[in-house]
Structures are given as structure tokens and as C-alpha cells.
Structure 1
Amino acid sequence: MKRDFYEPSKSSKLMRLFWNAAGADRYILERTTYGDKVKYLCLGGIIIATGLMAALAGGYAFYTIFEPRGNALNSFQTAKDIAGSYDAIHIPTLFKASIFGVFWGLIIFNIDRFIVTSTGKGDGTENITGKELVGALPRIIMGSVIALTISKPVEIRMFKTEIDVKLHEKQMEQQQAYKAKTDSLFATELASKDKEIAKIEQDLSAKILRHADLEKQYIEEARLITVGPRALAIKAQMELVAKEIDGLQNHPDYLRIKAEKKEIEKKREADLASSEKVAAGLDGLLERIKIAHEISGTTISLFITLLFMVIELTPIFFKLMLIKSPYDFMEENIKELIKAENGIEVKANYYQDKKGYEKDLVINHQVLRLLKEKIQLLEAQSELSQQAVESWKEKKKQDIHQDPDSYIKEQPETA
């Protein structure tokens, strides 16, 4: 019907999308004032924006958790050298993070949508009373938790460069501490093996010196005179010492101890080589959040969190402060029409419960009508059944009266 005093503006697809996000009724909004349309448009925009921010924050958090571990500055240097960019992206992790981000954003969007649509309009005035605040408290707590989960990934992304530098310093400290601990763990074992080897090599050195001295004597003796008994005796001693040297050098205990020392050194080198990998494990989401708090300080971190809490909680307080408008009265009218159409009567503040709270009485007239019809039907069926039994009884009596012998023969014989 065309009005002379007011003609509603047409809605666009984008506007209807935002209305749907806010849980508003398109049928009513298209017939109400422009102010109502804008209010629910803004409300839906906040909910959609929160879902998008949650998707980005969740995706980044997931990427930070599952990206390949390494030196905090490695990706910075590699990307700069290869592509002229300062961000090296791991494509498989990015793909998984994108899927998770979309999924997380949809979850937050639906939770926000439920929180906002389930929040009433209070008493229809701009004031938020204590009773309204208490009623909205569970939704406020849920919204605060959601805001916190969104703000932290955003915070670590804002301070990413500073966090990478600080994290690199911590990784280097961790690496040096791990190396020192590794060296101290293997130092005792290596010292024990060195002591055993030194004892054997001390005897070996003495025999080598003895062999060298005998060789010198033999050369001098053979140069002065022909090889005589003394030279032969020296040569025999020299050969004996050479055998002793060879025996010590190839002794099983000596070879075993050297092999054990080599294995210990190899294991130590392997552990030292893994120190960089161990230090890289320090690069996690929790560690980055801690460093972000150290860098930004309590004030800035709190300000960022409060900013997201304001964005998240605005729709809740916004609905509590809404003044009743034509949309609200039309919505109530439609609800009453639907209840009347379905035979539902509500008597407000009809009785008090045990605690003294006034309660509404809900009468479902259609249910009562069906119940009465069902009761009457059952009563009629019972009455007809009774009449049928009486008629059958009378007919049997007549049959017995006309032919009692036939009735007696039909009875089963008793034992």
C-alpha cells in the first residue's frame, strides 16, 4: 500500500546481508523507517567485521604455531636475499592456516550473532539499569573472551619485527646455554677416557724413547766396528722393545678406550649440532605473546585488548541502549499475531512463584481444543463399546433361552 506521508527506501543486497548478520527481520525492516534500517545495518557490519578479524587473527595464530621452526631472523634474511621481501612464507602452512582461519572466523561470527540476537532491548530506554547489566553479564563475559583471543595474535603481528629481534637474542642465549650444558655432561666421561689413554700412552712414550736410544746405540756401534756381539745384543733389545711398542699400540684395551672416546666425541658433536634446532623450538606463540608484553608494556597491551573488547561488546551495549522504534513495535505486533493465529494466550504477571516472582500464564488454546476433542472422542468410544457389550450380552441370553442344550454342549469338558 502506497503511503502519502512516508515511502520506505529500497534495500540493497549488501544491506540485507548485514541485516541477516544482525538477526533482523527483513520483512519488517523493509516496511519501517530509514533509521531502523541504518541501526541494524551498522549492527550487522560490526558482527561481520568481528568475524573477519577473528579469521585473520586465528589464521595468523595457527600459522605462527605450525610454521617451520628456525632462527627468528633466518626467514627475514632469506626472503631479503631471494625475493627482495622481508617475509618468507611457508606455502603449505599458509594453506592450512587459511582453512583454519576461515573456520575460526565462522565460529566467532556465529557466536557473536547468537550473542547479539539473544540480547534483549532492555527496558526500551537509553539507560542501562543494573538488572539489564546482570542479565547481559554472561554475554559480556563470552564477548570479552572472544575479544582476548582476537587481540593477542593481532598484537604479536603489530610488533613482529621487534619480537623477531628479541626472540633471536633469546634463541642465541638458549643455544649457548645448551652448548655449555652439553659440554659439562660429556666432560666427565671424556676426562675419564683421557686419563686411561694417558696412562697407556705414558708407557708407550717411554718405550718409544727406549727404542730410539737403542737404535742410536746400534748405529754408533755398527759404525765404529763391524757388527759384533754387542751390536747384535743391542739389535735384539731394540726388536724386543719394538714388539712391546706394537703390542701397546694394538692392545685391545687401548683400542677399545680410544674407540669409546671417539664415540663420546661424536655424540657430543651431534648434540652440539642440534643446539640450533633446540633453540629454534623457543619460537612459539606463547613465547611471542610474552615478548610482545615485554616490548609493548602493560599499558599498550591493555589498550589493544580493550580496543577489541569495545568492538566486540559494542553490539551488546548498543542493543541495551536502543530506544524502542517502529521496528520493535511492529515485531511485537507480528509476534502477537502469530501467537493469536496459533491460539496462544499469555496473561502477564498472572501468578507468583514460591520465591515471590511474578510469572506469566501461557494458555495454548489449540492444545486445549485438541485435548478436549480427544477426551470427548475417547469417552464416546468407551460409551459405544459399553453399548456393544450390552447388546452382545442380550443376544447371547436370547440364544441360551431358545436352545440351552446347544449352549451346554459347546462348553469344554472339565477334568
Structure 2
Amino acid sequence: MLKDFFILCSGSDKNILKSCSSGEQNKYAGIGATVFFTALMAFIASSYALYTVFDNVFTAIFFGLVWGLLIFNLDRFIVSTIKKRDRFWSEFLQATPRIILAVIIAVVISKPLEMKIFEKEINQVLLEQKNEMTLANKQQIARQYTPAVEALNQEIAGLKAEIDNKEAETNALYETYISEAEGRAGTMLLGKGPVYKEKREKHDAYLLELQQLKETNRAKIAEKETQIAALNAEYAQTVDASQPVIDGFDGLMARINALGELPWFPSFFIFLLFLAIETAPIIAKLLAPKGPYDLKVEEEESTVETWVKQKVHQRQQILATDTVLNEKIYGEIAEEEAVYAYKKQKAEELMRLQADNFHDIQINSL
């Protein structure tokens, strides 16, 4: 039963092949098996490729089955139409379109399986690309928020500098009135005199201003720090929102590009392997020697061709003979007086009827 199935896959005539030897049947069963397994490989490869696109097993299997059946039907048709006539180059010319198509199909089939074979290496390349994209994305988004954050930080630094300057002035006044009291500066008189009191009041006024400035600036600093925190939170949210796009950067095209960054040598030989598989049915038929089956097919075709040519020739002869006879018969009839007189009488009757009819129409129109 398996042998019959593979013979069916080869596209050969089962009735003719049954009259051939067992070896001839095995040869065409082998060609059919090549056609079948090529289609099976096309089904597996296309299903995996479509799974990476649709991410759905049933959809991938359905369209993969359609693709496999298409390849099966195409190979079976081409193999069955290549006739062994001991003219290799003529047969090769018939198979050329399929060989060109085999190169295209080999690329389509080999790439998904290459991606599966080198999946770990591709994942490593994709991981590096994702990390680079993540850093680039953060830098790009940061450029939108950095100017505002830096401006706020500068304002905070200015407010803090204002406090520091006021505090330095206050401390200097403190040192001034203490030195006056100790007699180390100013009047150089020990004790708390009028000058000390004046300097102490000035220090106390500056100290009050410093406290008010600290309260005011701290409130402003807190407000600006809140704005910075809001900008940082918004920046983090924007990065988090864009990260899933980067994490999802592992589709079919991304994997093909990642595969292209790996060494070409292993991929090239996998491509050659699938090219050999794809062209196997055609090569098997081209290289197969002319056998009894081919002779019987050629005999049957030549029988039909000869029979058709005979029928056409016979019809041509009948037509030529009938034409000669008709010309002779009608020539003899044309020479008979009775026929001439009869035709003349009928023509006269027809002309009278036409004249009467024309006369009646003219009267009715008056």
C-alpha cells in the first residue's frame, strides 16, 4: 500500500506501470517518495515560519499544510510532465523553471529552520540589540526631561546659595559683636557698650531675616523638588510604557536580521541542503535512466499521435473529394435549359409581387 501511495505521488500512469517490472515500479516509487518528503519538509518549515509570525499553532499548521500541498502538487506535476526521450538538455530546459523556483523555496524553507537551529545564538544577538535599544530609548526620552530638571536644580541651587550667603553675613555680624564685647576689634574696649549693642541689634535683625529666608526658600525648594520628582516619575512611566515594544522586538524580520549577523558558513550549507532537497524530485527524474515505463508511454503517445494524424488526413481527403464532386454536379446543373427556365419563371413572379406591393404602399400613402 505504501508503494502504491508513492507511485501515486510520482504522477506516473499506474496502469502502464503495473505491466512493468518490479524494479521499474520501485524506481518510480522512489521518485514519488522524494516528492512526498519534499512536500513534508516544506510543510514543517513553513509552519514554523508562520508560527513566528502569527504566534498561533492552528493558524500556522493550516497555512503550512496549504503550502506543503502546493509544493507537492507542483513537484508531482513537473515530474510527471518530464518525458524521457534521451535528450537531456531538452528535459533540463523543461525543469529549469522548477529549479529556479526551488532556489526561492529553499531560501524560504531554510531560513525558519536556521532560526530554530541557531535559536540560542539569535537570542543572544537579540538580547544585545534590546539592551542597546533600551539604553538609546532612555537617552532619547531623557532628552525631553533633562532640560526642565536641570533648570529646576539650578533654581534650587540658587535658593540654597541665597541662604548660605545670608547665613555667612549673619555669622560675620555675630563674630563682629562678639569681638567687640571681648575687646578684640572695633573700639578695643572690653565689655558690652553702646557699640556692642548696636552691632548686636544688627546681627539679630539679620538673624531674623535669615530665618524668614530659610522658611521661604525651603518651601520653594520643596515645591521644586516635588516638580523634579513628578518629572522623574513621568520619565520612568514613559520608559516603562515604551519598554514592551523593545521587549517584543523578536519577530520574524528581527530574527532574520539577527541570523544575518552570525557567521554565514553554517547557514550557507543548510541552504545548500534544502536546495538539494527541493530539487531532489527533478534531479531524480532527470538522472533516472530511460526504462520500460518510458518506452511504453512513448509508444502509447506515438500511437495516439499517429491515429490523430490519420483521422486528420482522412478528413482532408474527404473534403477535397466532396469539393470536386460538388463543383462537377453544380456545373452540369447550370447547363440544363429546364432549370434555367424554371429559375427565370420564379424570378419574374417575384418581381411582379414586389411591383404590386410597392404600388399598394404608394396608394395608401396618398
Q: TM-score, normalised by structure 2?
A: 0.68
Cα shift at 1:194: 2.4
Instruction: Name whichever structure is richer in helix by fraction.
Output: 2
**Gap change, CA 1:412 and 1:61, over 3 Å in 2:** same
Matched, 1:31 2:14: no
Partner of 2:270: 304
For 2:40, give the aligned amino acid: L
Question: Is contact 2:163–2:210 with CA below 8 Å preserved after alignment?
Answer: no
Cα shift at 1:49: 0.8
Partner of 1:113: 76
Cα shift at 1:273: 2.0
For 1:102, give the aligned amino acid: L
Structure-to-structure mapping, 1:221-370, within 5 angstroms: 261-274=228-241, 276-292=243-259, 294-295=261-262, 297-340=263-306, 344-345=308-309, 364=312
Question: Is contact 1:167–1:291 with CA below 8 Å preserved after alignment?
Answer: yes
**Gap change, CA 1:103 and 1:39, over 3 Å in 2:** same
Question: Is contact 1:151–1:308 with CA below 8 Å preserved after alignment?
Answer: yes
Matched, 1:158 2:117: yes
Residues 242-263 of structure 1, C-alpha deviations (whole Å, 9 max, x = no match): 9888877788x996x6675444
SS in 2 for 1:32: coil
Partner of 2:127: 168
Question: Is contact 2:78–2:95 with CA below 8 Å preserved after alignment?
Answer: no
**Gap change, CA 1:392 and 1:185, over 3 Å in 2:** same
**Gap change, CA 1:24 and 1:407, over 3 Å in 2:** closer
SS in 2 for 1:345: helix
Question: Is contact 1:179–1:275 with CA below 8 Å preserved after alignment?
Answer: no
Cα shift at 1:169: 3.7
For 2:253, give the aligned amino acid: L
For 2:283, give the aligned amino acid: F
Q: Highest CA radius of gyration, 1 or 2?
A: 2
RMSD: 4.7
Partner of 1:102: 65
Residues 344-392 of structure 1, C-alpha deviations (whole Å, 9 max, x = no match): 329xxxxxxxxxxxxxxxx95598699889999xx99xx9xx9998664
**Gap change, CA 1:110 and 1:132, over 3 Å in 2:** closer
SS in 1 for 2:5: helix
For 1:61, give the aligned amino acid: A
CA distance in 1 between counterparts of 2:68 and 2:215 reads: 77
Partner of 1:230: none
CA distance in 2 between counterparts of 1:118 and 1:151 reads: 27
CA distance in 2 between counterparts of 1:139 and 1:172 reads: 44
CA distance in 2 between counterparts of 1:115 and 1:202 reads: 88
**Gap change, CA 1:144 and 1:204, over 3 Å in 2:** same
Partner of 1:48: 36
CA distance in 1 between counterparts of 2:126 and 2:342 reads: 94
Cα shift at 1:280: 2.1
**Gap change, CA 1:161 and 1:118, over 3 Å in 2:** same
For 1:96, give the aligned amino acid: T
**Gap change, CA 1:409 and 1:291, over 3 Å in 2:** closer
Q: 1:124 aligns with which of 74, 77, 86?
A: 86
Partner of 1:63: 51
CA distance in 2 between counterparts of 1:391 and 1:243 reads: 142
Partner of 2:172: none
Q: Percent identity?
A: 29
**Gap change, CA 1:293 and 1:410, over 3 Å in 2:** closer
Cα shift at 1:24: 1.1
CA distance in 2 between counterparts of 1:58 and 1:299 reads: 23
CA distance in 1 between counterparts of 2:159 and 2:317 reads: 110
Q: Which runs of 5+ in 2 are unaligned?
A: 170-203, 334-339
Matched, 1:18 2:6: yes
Q: 1:140 aligns with which of 95, 99, 110?
A: 99
**Gap change, CA 1:375 and 1:197, over 3 Å in 2:** farther
SS in 1 for 2:309: strand
Q: Which runs of 5+ in 1 are unaligned?
A: 1-11, 68-92, 211-234, 347-362
CA distance in 2 between counterparts of 1:137 and 1:399 reads: 74
CA distance in 2 between counterparts of 1:278 and 1:244 reads: 49
Residues 42-70 of structure 1, C-alpha deviations (whole Å, 9 max, x = no match): 11111111111111111111222344xxx
**Gap change, CA 1:307 and 1:399, over 3 Å in 2:** closer
Partner of 1:89: none
Q: TM-score, normalised by structure 1?
A: 0.61
**Gap change, CA 1:320 and 1:209, over 3 Å in 2:** same
For 2:233, give the aligned amino acid: K
Question: Is contact 1:148–1:305 with CA below 8 Å preserved after alignment?
Answer: yes
Cα shift at 1:191: 0.8
The total of aligned residue pairs comes to: 321
